[in-house]
Chains A and B, each alone.
Chain A
């Protein structure tokens, strides 16, 4: 069911071409495990009424965030949607900053002013999480345009869901990126549901991003988004193309979210057995098998898992004792002078 990727994927196995290497594989696993543990903790904190507002988890979609982030350099820019905790963590933003923002505390990434749907850490190249579907594809074009105009070699990576492919901004951004040959990589995380509605019920083509690539003169790229190795290889090739002046890529990653759309959604619209089928293809499970194939020691794997658990506990402790958002920030930073004055 997975179509051919943009480059040949080595056959897994001890004798396969190990173009990724042990250190990178451990890093890919670390990112996936830490995202998984942090997202599960976010859900627990929500059940305790400590995560307020809404939240959109990436449980089951960790390989995409890990693979694309692991291939980025520190100067590369990433844009994502409200389902952005994973992409924020994957760029190296500390868990306590993310959980603190989800809990709307003063220690959060934006000190409680943005919330779960707007995680931003400019120092990590995380140029924002955008909560109105579509806009950030166009905004990512602007970041890539700046790189092209100023002669900088960073790549802009833009993550979005399958539902985004049906809004006009998707099409405006794709056309724009192609005609200006912008160094931007568009990544569609196709988790099969726009929110509660199956994407197939509301889309003219079976693969919402890949099947539309031809309309913009782009190659059709459809990959297994639950295989971090495949994601990493695809990301590297796309970034290389962008840095070489070859223009944008549009990549559709097949995946599945294990939880509902948002915290309010138990996901009851899913047919029986579908989740179980996808849990068999859980990215962490796939990756543990991959590491075993390449002879990575159980001790190394256990160490990654133990470190992740410890980090989550430490972050939770910090966030629970953090003060609420500071009242003096209510009117801060509306304008660049730091304040909100609209009159003299």
Chain B
């Protein structure tokens, strides 16, 4: 057991898989000699060499096309897109090519690859380099989508993603890279499609993802201490496949659910979870389902404005306590 940063966990997760399988290769802009814009690939070029850790030009279509063609013909590429928004300049591959290959060819060809995204806000980069875009990919049949919140999950889910026969969108949160957590020694392999209950509770369920997970946990501590509310906190971890059993089981127990989402409100992932809960356990609910989200705005660069936009610990505490205490009176 050792303490590891989220950033170093990315490196460890990738290197664990590259040591295991020589068909696992890494491509992207500045990921090799420079160690990555987020320094999340430092040392990989030195360990695995230029043929397995390949620097590319600024050509996102070529990066994803190369990853797709290699995956279709027997390799296990990991492609880094740097800032998540760069997905928009190669969205043909994410929306039309990679996810539909297996279906359109009646199962003849698949795309076992991983695309890494530097996702999310908190670093004051403005509207085009701070968005949380995991929901852009969640709506596309054929993709799998994960967004880990801790170093140990980064390693285990990276292993699961690389070993998975389907294309996996791997969202790393930029504001979490410097955070640390305990990580066991040895190989770590997780499974896709499993949520985690990080804090058990009786009064309500708070469902969160990525950066919103530590905020939800901190909020739950304050809710217990100051408001007498015992919140259960679920880290969704994987949007596709979605662990609805975990979420539904928790909501049946607590009778209340809040989602905490970094993506702007319309069509955020929480809307889908709310819809499932409303459809399937409506009669177990004690009150409305509540989404706590970023407003439907582009993100501002100013630190004070960005902090206002993204759900904060304070906002989570206020919203949950007001809704629950209101419902009790």
Contact = CB atoms under 8 A, between A and B. Distances in A.
Given A132-B92, A335-B142, A344-B245, A169 B62 contact: yes
Nearest to B59: A172
B57 A142 contact: no
A332 interface: yes
Interface stretch (B103-111, B218-226, B291-299): B103-111
Given A135-B92, A173-B62, A143 B73 contact: yes
Given A172-B59, A334-B142, A139 B105 contact: no
Interface stretch (B37-45, B93-101, B148-156, B306-314): B93-101
A172 B93 CA distance: 14
Contacts of A156: 69
Interface in A118-146: 118, 120-122, 127-128, 130, 132, 134-146
Contact of A343 (B62, B65, B242): B242
B29 interface: no
A132 B240 contact: no
A333 B107 contact: yes
Most chain B CB neighbours (cut-off 10 Å) among A114, A130, A335, A338? A335
A138 B107 contact: no
Given A120-B109, A142-B70, A142-B72, A343 B57 contact: no
Contact of A149 (B25, B71, B141, B144): B25
A341 B244 CA distance: 12
A122 B67 CA distance: 18
Contact of A122 (B57, B109, B240): B109
A340 interface: yes
Given A122-B108, A127-B72, A138-B62, A335 B102 contact: yes
Most chain B CB neighbours (cut-off 10 Å) among A121, A168, A173, A343? A343
Contact of B104 (A120, A338, A341): A120
A135 B98 CA distance: 10
A77 interface: yes
B103 A113 contact: yes
Chain B, interface size category, equals 35 or more
B106 A113 contact: yes
Contacts of A47: none
B102 A143 contact: no
Given A134-B92, A344-B244, A118 B105 contact: yes
A114 B105 contact: yes
B166 interface: yes
A341 B165 CA distance: 14
Contacts of A127: 69, 72-73, 109
Contact of A342 (B102, B109, B241): B241
A110 interface: yes
Contacts of B25: 149
A84 to B, nearest CB: 13
Interface in A259-280: none
A46 interface: no
Contacts of B97: 130, 132, 135, 139
Interface string B38-81: 00000000000001001011010110111111111111010000
Given A114-B105, A141-B65, A342-B240, A176 B73 contact: no
B65 A340 contact: no
Interface residues of A, number: 51
A342 B92 contact: no
Contact of A121 (B102, B108, B166): B108
Contacts of B203: none
A128 to B, nearest CB: 7
Contacts, number: 161
A120 B105 contact: yes
A338 B102 CA distance: 9
Contacts of B193: 344
Most chain A CB neighbours (cut-off 10 Å) among B102, B165, B166? B102
B306 to A, nearest CB: 31
Nearest to A338: B107
Nearest to B109: A122
B312 to A, nearest CB: 30
Interface in A60-89: 77
Contact of B74 (A128, A137, A146): A146
A135 B93 contact: yes
A147 B73 CA distance: 9
A150 interface: yes
Contacts of B106: 109-111, 113-114, 329, 332-333
B286 interface: no
Contacts of B108: 110, 120-122
Interface of B: 23, 25, 51, 54, 56-57, 59, 61-62, 64-75, 77, 92-93, 96-97, 101-110, 112, 141-142, 144, 164-166, 193, 240-245, 276
Given A142-B70, A147-B73, A333-B102, 19 more contacts: A113-B106, A114-B105, A127-B69, A127-B109, A132-B92, A135-B61, A138-B93, A145-B75, A146-B69, A146-B74, A149-B51, A173-B61, A175-B57, A175-B62, A334-B102, A338-B107, A342-B241, A343-B276, A344-B193
27 contacts: A110-B105, A111-B106, A113-B103, A114-B105, A114-B106, A118-B104, A127-B72, A128-B109, A132-B97, A135-B61, A135-B97, A138-B61, A138-B68, A139-B68, A142-B66, A146-B73, A146-B74, A150-B23, A150-B75, A172-B62, A173-B61, A175-B62, A176-B59, A332-B106, A336-B164, A344-B193, A344-B243
Interface of A: 77, 109-111, 113-114, 118, 120-122, 127-128, 130, 132, 134-147, 149-150, 156, 168-169, 172-173, 175-176, 179-180, 329, 332-336, 338, 340-344
Listed from nearest, the 4 A-B pairs whose CB atoms lie closest are A142-B69, A138-B65, A336-B165, A172-B62
